[in-house]
Chains A and B, each alone.
Chain A
Amino acid sequence: MTNAGEKDVLTAAHLHVGWQGKTVAQIDSLSLHPGEIVVIAGPNGVGKSTTVKTLARQIKPIGGHIHLNETDIWMCPPRTFAKSVAYVAQNIDPPRNMPVKALVALGRNPHQAWWSWQISTEDEAAVKSALDATETSHLTEKEVGTLSGGELQRVALAMALAQQSSLILLDEPTSHLDYKHQLQLVELLKKMRSQQLGILLVLHDLNLIGRLADKVVLLRKEPAAPSKIFASGTPAEVLVNSKLRDVYDINVAVVEDTASGIKSYVPTGIVDS
């Protein structure tokens, strides 16, 4: 599924992200290595999506640097960057009459000549593998406009998987998924991690974060200042009531299922400010 042998590393330092010159979030240090899952979490408006977009080379940082290996990402040719880093936006808006297979096949673009329509056997295999992994093989002949939100989200992920990059950035990939597909996505991402893919994603659901993340980066809004990293570490270190209360203004009970060892995070009330 991934580019075997690739050891791409994405690192950000002293990063200021935002829009039209206004810094929304300040990320002092962040990195993504092969074989790890990093989750960016935090309340609405804290700059999670803006951070991921900036890491994905969608918007320029206001300050600081992002490097892919030793190279500033804005010095990388777009195709070279896309071979190493895939990005799945929160919502995609392809033409409604585009068949699913044609859409997923566009994920192969970084590996093809920019003008060429030729699809190699390697491209075919990558597309098939991506469709199988996301359980969207049965949708291939359907038009995108006929898909549900959840199906479209899985197809968007399939397109990114067909890219066969070694790092993948996902912005709220579970927002339209039902419980079954959320858990399937968790398993898929874990499988990708075991194949040495580096995954960075924005997630809201603490239960999914607890099941999935190797590292959680918790952002907090600061009064009259850009958001900052409030805590960073393993889920066991970061997803604790004292820290969640400070960031989300809620109390959270952490309940561990002794049989499976899985922790559940149950909001118990809003903290009066």
Chain B
Amino acid sequence: MACGYIVLILRFSLLVLLVIVALMLNLCLGAVSATPQEALQVLFSPSLAHGNLTDIIWQIRLPRLLCAFAVGAALAVSGYLLQSLSRNYLADPYLTGISSGAALAVAGAIVFNASFAALPIVALIGGLLVSLLVAFMARTPAGLSMTRLLLAGIAVSAVCSSLITLCLTTLAGAGRVQALYYWLAGSINGKGWIELRTTSIYLIVGFAVAIIMSKPLRMLSLGAQSAASLGLNIARVQWTILLTGVVLCGAAVSLSGIVGFVGLVAPYVARTVFGRDERMHLCASVLGGGALVLFSDLASRTLISGMELPLGTLLSLIGAPFFLWLVVKHKDEVEA
């Protein structure tokens, strides 16, 4: 028992270390490189003269890496919540169409010149409508059918993507097309303090509710029938979890566009590596999702010199094979 706890603490410490390494690399690497000492000096003593580096770190890299961490953490927790809700490892905001719904709403809002402050709310509404539609199509007397949920998610995502393309080609002015395109491909390039401040309230509320709901999440893992017999208000808990998942996904989408598979990979690793405690899973999802997007964002801007790859594209390259592996590993659940 004690041995189990020590292993968990060691694994968690390693994850924290991984996040610190990811943060430092994101801070130091780029067109203008800095040593870790320089970066830390700029960070903790910004009044000392460091030339351009102060501006680069404080105005570009720091907000960007915080955005990357927030996007990863939000998508991972959103995925964890959706998986707990459907009792299936294969549910995530991207595959269930919630990201696409949020993205369509945001794309529409951008075309109509909405301010960034409105985007998280718009994304939330879009994600919520799609989640309700997908859940409606996947419902069975015994609960949600996973096969139908994924199929409905794919179909709704396809419709949303088409409508987004329509927005791009017919409605957006020429100047906005490239920005929209980049945003849709999943990118946090150019995101700064203002965007971070706007979305942080949604993220903080989302994470806080997720932690508070950790015990109901465990109850729900028994199945709705057993959880109800133990006094859980199933409808209230399911709605709260769904809404929290959509809020987190909406906030992430408004920051980064569509970034897929983080909500699939990070919670799966958290569940399989970090024991059985839902609180530990949530913390590990936050750190794991954050680290995944931090490393991916670093790769997207440093892999090819002078060119930035879309973050969403990079993550899909990792995530899609992982999804296929999961489908094979959990084929019983997929067929359910």
Q: Are A58 and B228 in contact (CB under 8 A)?
A: yes
Return the chain A residue nearest B221 by Cβ.
A95
**With a CB–CB cut-off of 8 A, which chain B residues contact A20?**
141
User: Shortest beta-carbon distance, B224 to chain A, in Å?
Assistant: 9
Interface residues of A in 150-169 (CB under 8 A from B): 159-160, 163
| Given A19-B141, A114-B216, A115-B212, residue A78 in contact with residue B231 (CB < 8 A) | yes
Once the chains are docked, how many angstroms separate the CA of A81 from the CA of B214?
Answer: 22
B230 on the interface (CB 8 Å rule)? Answer: yes
A229 on the interface (CB 8 Å rule)? Answer: no
B318 on the interface (CB 8 Å rule)? Answer: no
Binary per-residue interface labels of chain B (217-234) against chain A in the complex, 1 for a CB within 8 Å, 0 otherwise: 011011101101111111
Once the chains are docked, how many angstroms separate the CA of A83 from the CA of B218?
Answer: 19
Q: Are A79 and B229 in contact (CB under 8 A)?
A: no
A98 on the interface (CB 8 Å rule)? Answer: yes
Number of interface residues of A (CB under 8 A): 37
| Given A78-B231, A98-B276, A110-B230, residue A58 in contact with residue B216 (CB < 8 A) | no
| Given A79-B231, A81-B231, A97-B276, residue A92 in contact with residue B212 (CB < 8 A) | no
User: Shortest beta-carbon distance, A266 to chain B, in Å?
Assistant: 36
Q: Are A94 and B229 in contact (CB under 8 A)?
A: no
A89 on the interface (CB 8 Å rule)? Answer: yes
Once the chains are docked, how many angstroms separate the CA of A89 from the CA of B222?
Answer: 12
Stretch at the interface among A6-14, A99-107, A213-221, A235-243: A99-107
A46 on the interface (CB 8 Å rule)? Answer: no
B215 on the interface (CB 8 Å rule)? Answer: yes
Number of interface residues of B (CB under 8 A): 23
Return the chain A residue nearest B278 by Cβ.
A117
A56 on the interface (CB 8 Å rule)? Answer: yes
Interface residues of A in 14-62 (CB under 8 A from B): 19-20, 56-58
Once the chains are docked, how many angstroms separate the CA of A48 from the CA of B327?
Answer: 38
Interface residues of A in 192-219 (CB under 8 A from B): none
Once the chains are docked, how many angstroms separate the CA of A232 from the CA of B1?
Answer: 52
Q: Are A89 and B231 in contact (CB under 8 A)?
A: no
Q: Are B228 and A57 in contact (CB under 8 A)?
A: yes
Once the chains are docked, how many angstroms separate the CA of A141 from the CA of B3?
Answer: 14
Binary per-residue interface labels of chain A (69-98) against chain B in the complex, 1 for a CB within 8 Å, 0 otherwise: 000000001111111001111001111011
Interface centre among A56, A78, A95, A98 (most CB of B within 10 A): A78
Once the chains are docked, how many angstroms separate the CA of A48 from the CA of B234?
Answer: 24
Once the chains are docked, how many angstroms separate the CA of A62 from the CA of B83?
Answer: 32
Partner among B1, B215, B221, B231 whose Cβ is within 8 Å of the Cβ of A110: B231
A116 on the interface (CB 8 Å rule)? Answer: yes
Partner among B213, B222, B276 whose Cβ is within 8 Å of the Cβ of A92: B222
Return the chain B residue nearest A99 by Cβ.
B276
Q: Are B225 and A106 in contact (CB under 8 A)?
A: no
Partner among B1, B221, B233 whose Cβ is within 8 Å of the Cβ of A78: B233
Return the chain A residue nearest B216 by Cβ.
A114
User: Shortest beta-carbon distance, B208 to chain A, in Å?
Assistant: 11
Partner among B1, B221, B230 whose Cβ is within 8 Å of the Cβ of A109: B230
Once the chains are docked, how many angstroms separate the CA of A103 from the CA of B230?
Answer: 11
Once the chains are docked, how many angstroms separate the CA of A237 from the CA of B225?
Answer: 35
Return the chain A residue nearest B212 by Cβ.
A115
**With a CB–CB cut-off of 8 A, which chain B residues contact A160?**
229
Q: Are A56 and B229 in contact (CB under 8 A)?
A: yes
Once the chains are docked, how many angstroms separate the CA of A47 from the CA of B253?
Answer: 48
Once the chains are docked, how many angstroms separate the CA of A47 from the CA of B215?
Answer: 34
Interface residues of B in 196-215 (CB under 8 A from A): 212-215
| Given A19-B141, A99-B276, A117-B215, residue A82 in contact with residue B221 (CB < 8 A) | no
Interface residues of A (CB under 8 A from B): 19-20, 56-58, 77-83, 86-89, 92-95, 97-99, 102-103, 106-107, 109-110, 114-117, 141, 159-160, 163
Interface residues of B (CB under 8 A from A): 1, 141, 212-216, 218-219, 221-223, 225-226, 228-234, 276, 279
| 3 cross-chain pairs, A with B, having the tightest CB-CB distances, nearest first | A82-B231, A79-B231, A110-B231
